[in-house]
Structure 1
Amino acid sequence: MTGKRQAPTDCLEPSSKLARVAIPAIERSKGLPDYDDIPPASFDIAKGIRQNHARAIKKGDLDLVYFKPFLASATAKALYQWCLTALPWYKVQYRTRGIDIDTPRFTTTFGIDQAFKPGSSLSVYERKPRPIPAPLQALLDQVSQATGADYNFLLINFYQDGTNSITYHSDDEKFLGPLPTIASLSLGGSRDFLMKHKEDPKRKEKFLLEAGDLIVMRGSTQAKWLHAVPKRTSTVQPRINITFRKALNIAGTNNYYKYNVGDGPVHKLVNGRMQPVAGT
């Protein structure tokens, strides 16, 4: 898909409704302790935004906005490299319904739920929440402005190769509230993004998400549809996707850190592959 496309009038809210007031850093972090191990970025996210490449996709109870792209190529590449090398990554293992699960991708997360108040004790959380790093907060602000939705969490996945995947699921947990808006930004290699209806599996959609693309699922989409990034036997390039969402309460924070950080070691990129860091 090439050429510039103006956002359709039924796609986004009027720009006056999307205006964001600058938020002081202390309010952005919501009083969480600094996460000192993450270096700053050398790029300016705001200069790479391409909001006019958006189209609405509305098919009954499927309600999407597709930015192709949302980030310019150079910015998408810079953000990909920064995420890959600057962030702590995890290979989470957990047990559910008597089955041991080894998450088939690398993950990390930042943020805290809406119920948390600055100065409140963090002892109510099962794992220590982390503030959103400045480069990702700048990205979140841009995505929020473009989509007309508020977010307080980033869930980030690294698909190292074609064996890394995520099975069909929907982001319909109660801690997200009714009709949540979930935005997903793709970086690095291209991967298929599949969707199918929960009640009518014959209703399917398929998108090839490329570097810089942003797909926004809103309205009844999570309630009615499943989505997946399937395994691929053919050679695919490594991919990162950053998802933006809004957790309303403690249950959301506990869930996201349990399944995206867990209790295992930090992983870092070594010679092109993720390796556990000793002592973490």
Structure 2
Amino acid sequence: MKSENFSLPDAELQYFPDFLSNEKADFLFEKLLKEIPWQQQNIKLFGNEIPQPRLTAFYAEKGISYTYSGLQLQPETFSTEILGLKQQTEELTSIDFNTCLVNLYRDGRDSMGWHADNEKVLGKNPVIASISLGGVRSFQFKHKNNKNLKEKIELQHGSLLIMKGSMQHFWKHQLPKTKKEVSPRINLTFRKIQ
């Protein structure tokens, strides 16, 4: 499987543009779009509660929950499709993931602001594996200590992005809003909660 390695200081970043075949990616996008129990929850941002600018669902092994931005997520049981993607990702990364946060970006107004996946429950150097289905969106990175260090990747339908090593200590990432017309996008992010 073809991969692209990005040589960023203080980070390990791998991108697999063809992780899934077009046929499989198309099937999964349509099935997940219809069958996931999508929710729009409020998050705390700078002391205010606002609706998340995307729809979400959380899947995990029994007994695991996840908290971020003041949200306590209660998990759904892994569906057959999400479990299959988890196993395929585990085979490639040799990491056992136990959660999956799924986001639906309905159009260019839906987004995710600058952040790092650095919650204590993820461990010291978490591996974050992110599968993209649907519309192509620009995923951006910036170094926390050097404002001149920036990178972006156009996340393709059926692709897998892996962030690991010390990346979450030194880099932030975002999926910004865009005025371009973009198709809906589903993102499945696998993590291991300690």
Q: Same fold (TM over 0.5)?
A: yes
Instruction: For residue 150 of structure 1, report the CA deviation from its aligned partner.
Output: 1.6
| More strand by percentage | 2
- The reply on whether 1:201 has 2:147 as its aligned counterpart is yes
- The reply on whether 1:134 has 2:83 as its aligned counterpart is no
Letter in 1 for 2:80: A
Which segments of 5 or more consecutive residues in structure 1 lack a partner in the other structure? 1-51, 117-125, 249-280
Letter in 2 for 1:237: S
Which segments of 5 or more consecutive residues in structure 2 lack a partner in the other structure? 66-71
Aligned 8 A contact 2:139 2:152 in 1: yes
Provide, for residues 214-242 of structure 1, a one-character-per-residue CA deviation record: whole Å limited to 9, x for no partner.
11000011111000000001211111110
Q: In structure 1, which of residues 181, 191, 198 is the aligned counterpart of residue 127 of structure 2?
A: 181
Match of 1:242 in 2: 188
Q: What is the root-mean-square deviation in Å for CA atoms of aligned residues? A: 1.8
Match of 2:100 in 1: 154
Aligned 8 A contact 2:141 2:173 in 1: yes
Give the whole-Å Cα distance in 2 for the aligned partners of 1:233 and 1:182: 28
Match of 2:118 in 1: 172
Letter in 1 for 2:110: N
Give the whole-Å Cα distance in 2 for the aligned partners of 1:111 and 1:149: 15
Give the whole-Å Cα distance in 2 for the aligned partners of 1:164 and 1:115: 27
Matched residue SS, 2:169: helix
TM-score in terms of structure 2 length:
0.91
Count of aligned residue pairs for this structure pair:
188
Matched residue SS, 1:180: coil
| Superposed counterparts of 1:91-102, under 5 Å | 91-95=40-44, 98-102=47-51
Q: In structure 1, which of residues 208, 211, 228 is the aligned counterpart of residue 157 of structure 2?
A: 211
Instruction: For residue 206 of structure 1, report the CA deviation from its aligned partner.
Output: 0.8
Aligned-pair identity (%): 37
Aligned 8 A contact 2:14 2:163 in 1: yes
Match of 2:28 in 1: 79
When Rg is computed on C-alpha atoms for both structures, the one with the higher figure is 1
TM-score in terms of structure 1 length:
0.64
Aligned 8 A contact 2:58 2:73 in 1: no
Give the whole-Å Cα distance in 1 for the aligned partners of 2:183 and 2:26: 13
Give the whole-Å Cα distance in 2 for the aligned partners of 1:232 and 1:148: 35
Aligned 8 A contact 1:163 1:232 in 2: yes
Provide, for residues 15-38 of structure 1, a one-character-per-residue CA deviation record: whole Å limited to 9, x for no partner.
xxxxxxxxxxxxxxxxxxxxxxxx
Larger RCO, structure (CA 8 Å, separation 6 or more): 2
C-alpha change, 1:72 and 1:101, in structure 2 (3 Å) is same
Aligned 8 A contact 1:185 1:213 in 2: yes
